[in-house]
Amino acid sequence: DRCPCQFIFSESSVFTVGSLSMQPKSLQSGSRLEITVMDADVNSNPLAVDTTRCECVCSQNKQLIVTLYETTVNSGIFTAFVDTQDYFECTLVGSSVSCQYVDSAPLYESIE
């Protein structure tokens, strides 16, 4: 589920703590997995469609680096679709898939 972003202020920059979501929550072989990252500070060029990457690993230790594309110029929302047909072992009964991306925002920052 998507969580609201939190703004973190530092001396000269505004960072947002992003979120990553995956749909559907239950996969079958041949279905598509949608990965969405919402993170405004990954939007490095407000005049172009940016990209970011995430790493997905399934319980069978199969790793996949996924490139997500910004949905529109300056949106801060990035998506990608993974066709599970190529990763059928990740959709076996009892398997799980986890994805993560590196967020440039600091985890904790004091606000004064």
Question: Is 105 strand, coil or helix?
Answer: coil
Q: What is the pTM (predicted TM-score) of this model?
A: 0.74
The answer to whether residue 1 is domain-embedded is no
List the domain range (segments joined by +) for residue 19: 6-100
Q: What DSSP character marks residue 85?
A: G
Model pLDDT for residues 1-43, shown as the tens digit of each residue: 444 434 333 334 455 678 888 888 887 777 888 999 998 888 8
Instruction: Report the CATH number at residue 21.
Output: 2.60.40
